[in-house]
Amino acid sequence: MNDFDLESKIRSIRAPKRGDEYWEAFPDQVLAELRTHSPAMVEHRNWTGTCFLLGRIAMACLAVIFCLWQTPLPREFNHLLRKDETQLRQSMRQFERNLDRAMQDEHGLHGLVEDQS
Amino acid sequence: MRDPDEALVRQSQNGDTAAYAELIRTHQRMIHSLAFRMTGSMADAEDLAQETFILAYRQIASYRGDSKFSTWLYRIAINVCLTWRRRETRRTEVTAHWAVETDGRQHQTEEPAGGDMTSRMHEALLKLPAKQRAAIMLTLYDGLNHAEAAEVLNCSETTVSWRIFAARRKLRQLLTMNGISP
């Protein structure tokens, strides 16, 4: 079979025919599909949804802050906080003093390490 | 040479869907025909033609008019068909493991118009590797020259020539096996 015969055989294949109605409807079908799955529309919808959600979260945060600001702390709670603060300050001062001592007593520290080994 | 679709393309790029519908009307038969010859099934061809036009509309902003609109559309259609082919091959491989009860007809194909010889010829064409088939379709059916086909297939002219040569050789073998050719 030469190239010409082969090509004419290949060219003899024709796609099955579709009626005029099909060809009339096809462009509208594509456009309808485009409208249904339009990425721009989806993106717009997502963006709107995200904005709405962020707005609600921001409003909720503002409401919580306002409530906390307006509500006075109970007296016992204040007392406990102050007590804890005093203890923390004392511990810090103690720590600083001990650290100074340890640094000044360098030889003693060496001795202690040697004794232990 | 001036592209006859130029004005409609520009209108479509500006979001005019009526203009795009007109472009679809102009090229729908060509794309259906190409998809049918690539898949061997009119049902699949209809889906792929629709997918091609949807994809083309979404990418139409990127069309700069360097080639004819029809060439650009062909390229999209060929890519859609090749992607379908890969997907279909994977799907067939997966289903083949557990679809034992099927009677061997894994893919329903629609007979092309024409006699038994045409049908066997089409069968042989479908057995060609997808890229070789695409090269044959574009040059023989759609009358594209090798340079245009190379542009559509995104390869060199030499590659197109080689694919056509290899496709012809393979077709001759297949037709001889099927008893079409002496």
- At B69 the pLDDT is 92
Residue range B81-102: mean pLDDT, rounded = 69
Considering only alpha carbons, which residue of chain B is nearest residue A37?
B54
- At B54 the pLDDT is 94
For chain A, domain boundaries = 52-97
Helix (H, G, I), strand (E, B) or coil at B68: coil
pLDDT tens digits along B104-147: 444 555 556 556 667 777 888 888 888 898 898 888 888 888 99
Distance from CA of A67 to the nearest CA of B (A): 50
Residue range A83-103: mean pLDDT, rounded = 86
Enumerate the residues of chain A whose CB falls inside 8 A of the CB of residue B80.
none
Burial B14-37 (b: 16+ CB within 10 A, else e): eeebebbbbbbebbbebbbbbbbb
Considering only alpha carbons, which residue of chain B is nearest residue A8?
B140
Enumerate the residues of chain A whose CB falls inside 8 A of the CB of residue B142.
none
- At A23 the pLDDT is 93
pTM comes to 0.61
Q: For residues A44 and B94, which has the higher predicted lDDT (pLDDT)?
A: B94
Distance from CA of B33 to the nearest CA of A (A): 6
With the C-alpha atoms ordered A52, A54, A59, A63, is the resulting torsion angle positive or negative? Answer: positive
User: A45-54, A90-99, B76-85, B109-118: which range is least confident on average?
Assistant: B109-118
Q: Of the candidates B79, B70, B169, B177, which has an alpha carbon nearest to the alpha carbon of residue B128?
A: B169
* Fold match between domain B1-109 and domain B114-182: no
Instruction: Match 């998809």 to its residue by tokens.
Output: B35
Predicted ipTM > 0.95:
no
Residue range B62-82: mean pLDDT, rounded = 90
Which candidate in B8, B26, B50, B73 is best for mutational testing of the A interface (most A CBs within 10 A)?
A: B50
Mean pLDDT in chain A? 79
Instruction: Tell whether the model's pLDDT for residue B174 goes beyond 90.
Output: no
Alpha-carbon distance A105 to B10, whole Å?
Answer: 87
Alpha-carbon distance B158 to B168, whole Å?
Answer: 15
Instruction: Tell whether the model's pLDDT for residue B49 goes beyond 90.
Output: yes
Enumerate the residues of chain B whose CB falls inside 8 A of the CB of residue A1.
172, 175, 181-182
Alpha-carbon distance B39 to B24, whole Å?
Answer: 20
Q: Of the candidates B133, B112, B132, which has an alpha carbon nearest to the alpha carbon of residue B122?
A: B112
Instruction: Tell whether the model's pLDDT for residue A26 goes beyond 90.
Output: yes
Q: What is the CATH number of domain B1-109?
A: 1.10.1740.10
Do residues B151 and B165 make contact, with C-beta atoms less than 8 angstroms apart? no
- By Cβ distance, the residue of A10, A31, A34 closest to B121 is A10
User: A54-68, A90-104, B5-19, B107-121: which range is least confident on average?
Assistant: B107-121
For chain B, domain boundaries = 1-109, 114-182
Cβ contact (<8 Å) for B140 and A33? no
Enumerate the residues of chain B whose CB falls inside 8 A of the CB of residue A12.
114, 117-118, 121
Residue range A4-26: mean pLDDT, rounded = 82
- At B181 the pLDDT is 56
Residue range B31-56: mean pLDDT, rounded = 91
Q: For residues A83 and B94, which has the higher predicted lDDT (pLDDT)?
A: A83
Instruction: Tell whether the model's pLDDT for residue B95 goes beyond 80.
Output: no
Measured between alpha carbons, how far is residue A113 from residues A96, A101, A110 in Å?
A: 22, 16, 5
Enumerate the residues of chain A whose CB falls inside 8 A of the CB of residue B117.
9, 12
Residue range A59-85: mean pLDDT, rounded = 83
The domain made up of B114-182 has a fold known as Arc Repressor Mutant, subunit A (1.10.10)
Alpha-carbon distance B61 to A40, whole Å?
Answer: 13
Enumerate the residues of chain B whose CB falls inside 8 A of the CB of residue A14.
112-114, 118
Q: Outline where chain B has alpha helix (H).
A: 6-13, 17-39, 42-59, 69-98, 116-126, 130-136, 146-153, 157-177
- At B105 the pLDDT is 47
- At B120 the pLDDT is 78
Mean pLDDT in chain B? 83
Distance from CA of A49 to the nearest CA of B (A): 23
With the C-alpha atoms ordered B83, B110, A3, B166, is the resulting torsion angle positive or negative? Answer: positive
Report helix angle B17-39 to B42-59, nearest 10. Answer: 140
Alpha-carbon distance B21 to A14, whole Å?
Answer: 25
- By Cβ distance, the residue of A10, A26, A30 closest to B54 is A30
